[in-house]
Amino acid sequence: MKQKAYARAGVDIDLGNRVKSTLPRMLRSTHRPEVLGQVGGFGGLFKLDTSKYREPVLVSSVDGVGTKLKLAFAMNTHDTIGQDLVNHCVNDIAVLGAEPLFFLDYLGTGRLEPRVFKDIIKGFARACTENHCALLGGETAQMPGFYQEGEYDVSGTIVGVVEKSRMLDGKAVRAGDAIIGLASSGLHTNGYSLARKIFFEQMGLKPKSYVPALRNTIGRELLKIHVSYGPLVQKLLKKFNPAQGPSIPKARPGKGSAIKAFAHITGGGFVDNIPRVLPGNCDAVIRKGTWDMLPIFRLIQAKGGVAEDELYQVFNMGIGMVAIVAHDRTSEVLQFIHAQGHKAWLVGQVVAGRGDARVAP
């Protein structure tokens, strides 16, 4: 059969349709009862059950995974990138106390590779299932000449919901509150431009180079999946910020609630992310050495030639999220987190200040 003109120009619509025909089966595990219609429509449909809320507030976020994609290309490993993206987006709305409802993805590439496409979507579906979030739809764009051969870009949008009176906005934070750090799995999705420069240019490593200090290849270590803290956050709020009344939450965080705020430690590290949830009369002090730093960060410290202050602003340094909690509930909250299978430590304290965060000895 003669190839169509558009396909000869680099955009194979028929191939795209064949590949997308597998989506309904792949997305079945992400289905929620509120989802209406089928995948492939002009818009995704989601019927929010407002009966569960007094004042529901929709919370949304959009993000990508940055130059971590370069590692995926080099390692020819594409099934983890989708998980990274979903988990990052879930964490961004979890800090407000929001439950994720649905996720939409965008994939742009020069030439659609069926295996790569399926691996990416499998990652999206796996993470959406784990986060109880519907994969509602997305867009796949074939743009020949726009991307380098074998490369692509992905981004995602998430929408969640939270009861307005129970939204975590940082207003309940007070001097004396404790800061608990939740362990990361590695770099997550930030700092990769600097990390690639350190490992591949300065140290001369290749993605498949085995690094004894890591007990892993540098490529596999850098591709470790971004942790989702969303399910843990919901459990913490249910346990320590109890609702008033039999069905409709009424309590405002801070009135009988142990959990005051969360901050997702992404680009900007501690010093740029924690201030987002601090009132103007409080500072956050993070104490170095209070958590078990992952070997990847010790290697960056030893070989990177980067000022220590900058390291704590670029990388998460082993702490992917912090929770600000009432001081007298610290041990109880830590014990609960450990029981859920997450590593966590008391890493700092809220003090009187001007809304800043700093890392101190």
3-7, 39-43, 117-121, 343-347: least confident range: 3-7
**Averaged over 114-143, what is the pLDDT?**
93
**pLDDT(254) > 50:** no
**pLDDT(345) > 60:** yes
Q: What pLDDT, on a 0 to 100 scale, did the predictor assign at position 6?
A: 65
And the tokens for 357? 């965060």
Within 13 Å and on the Cβ side, how many CA atoms surround 288? 10
**pLDDT(329) > 50:** yes
**pLDDT digits over 195-221, tens only?**
999 999 999 999 999 999 999 999 999
Distance CA 137, CA 128 (A): 12
Q: What pLDDT, on a 0 to 100 scale, did the predictor assign at position 20?
A: 67
Q: Which amino acid is at 53?
A: Y
Would you say the C-alpha torsion 342, 319, 265, 79 has a positive or negative sign? negative
**pLDDT digits over 184-197, tens only?**
999 999 999 999 99
- The structural domains of the chain, ordered by start, are 5-166 (3.30.1330.10), 178-360 (3.90.650.10)
pLDDT tier at 7 (50, 70, 90 boundaries)? Answer: low
And the tokens for 76? 């020819």
Q: What is the pTM of this model?
A: 0.92
